[in-house]
Structures are given as C-alpha cells and as structure tokens.
C-alpha cells in the first residue's frame, strides 16, 4: 500500500490481558516510531527503530510495553497485563532517512485501545 497501515483499528481488552498492535510502514522507510496519544492530547513518543535496531525506548511507560521490528519492516507493539491507563490511540509513523533529522513523518491511522 501507499501509506502506513496499522491493525487492528480498534481493540477492546479486559484488564490484565495481553495485546499486540501491528504496524506496516511504507516500504523502504528506515525509521519507525511508535507514539501514544491520549484523548485531547498530542502524540507522545514511545520508541524508535532504525531498520531492525531499537535505538530509543525511553518513552515506554513501563516494562509491560515491548516493541520489536525483527526484519526491519513490520513492527509490533506488545502490551502485557493491560491496565485502564493504557487506554489510548497508538500511532505508528515511518520516515525515509535514518540520520540528519527533520524528515517528515508519515503516520498510520492508529489503533484505538480500550481497556475495560
């Protein structure tokens, strides 16, 4: 596809369940980001991949959050033992370049996670 694809679009989980969110970036994009967006707020950085290497995971809120990108393309964000405060929209973004910064990000439509 032409854009960043995320699935599922919506996810409802019972508190304590594990969830896995998938991101298909634009083909050939080196950089991949995960952001968390609470209602009425801007996206907050979670983690960054350059190809398959996770270079920054400083934004992950706890050790229940885990992300991977084993082959440098598709990425999965996993949340273990979900809690109500994890309810948010999880956005994935990709960009072409790996260094130098200031490249625009291409975002997916996000996965809206609701933890009951």
Partner 1 sequence: SQKIEQNSEALNIQEGKTATLTCNYTNYSPAYLQWYRQDPGRGPVFLLLIRENEKEKRKERLKVTFDTTLKQSLFHITASQPADSATYLCALGSGGYNKLIFGAGTRLAVHP
List of residues contacting partner 1 (CB under 8 A): 4, 31, 33, 35, 40-45, 48, 50, 55-56, 91, 93, 95, 97-110
Closer to partner 1 by Cβ: residue 40 or 70: 40
How distant, in Å, are the alpha carbons of 19, 48, 58, 63, 68 from that of 24? Answer: 17, 14, 22, 24, 12
Q: Measured from the CB of residue 16, what is the shortest distance to partner 1 in angstroms?
A: 27
Q: Measured from the CB of residue 5, what is the shortest distance to partner 1 in angstroms?
A: 11
What's the rounded Cα separation, in Å, for the pair 86 and 15?
Answer: 10
Determine phi and psi for 111, rounding to 5 degrees. Answer: -115, 120
Q: Measured from the CB of residue 30, what is the shortest distance to partner 1 in angstroms?
A: 9
Closer to partner 1 by Cβ: residue 49 or 115: 49
Nearest to residue 47, comparing CAs of 10, 15, 21?
21
Q: Measured from the CB of residue 60, what is the shortest distance to partner 1 in angstroms?
A: 14
Closer to partner 1 by Cβ: residue 82 or 90: 90
Nearest to residue 92, comparing CAs of 12, 3, 14, 19?
3
């Amino acid at each position: 596809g032409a854009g960043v694809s995320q699935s599922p679009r919506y996810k409802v989980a019972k508190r304590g369940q594990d969830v896995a969110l998938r991101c298909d970036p634009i083909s050939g994009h080196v950089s991949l980001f995960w952001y968390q967006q609470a209602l009425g707020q801007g996206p907050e950085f979670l983690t960054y991949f350059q190809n398959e290497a996770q270079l920054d995971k400083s934004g992950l809120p706890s050790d229940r959050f885990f992300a991977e990108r084993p082959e440098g393309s598709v990425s999965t964000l996993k949340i273990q033992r979900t809690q109500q405060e994890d309810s948010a929209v999880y956005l994935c973004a990709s960009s072409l370049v790996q260094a130098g910064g200031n490249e625009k990000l291409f975002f997916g439509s996000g996965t809206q996670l609701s933890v009951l």
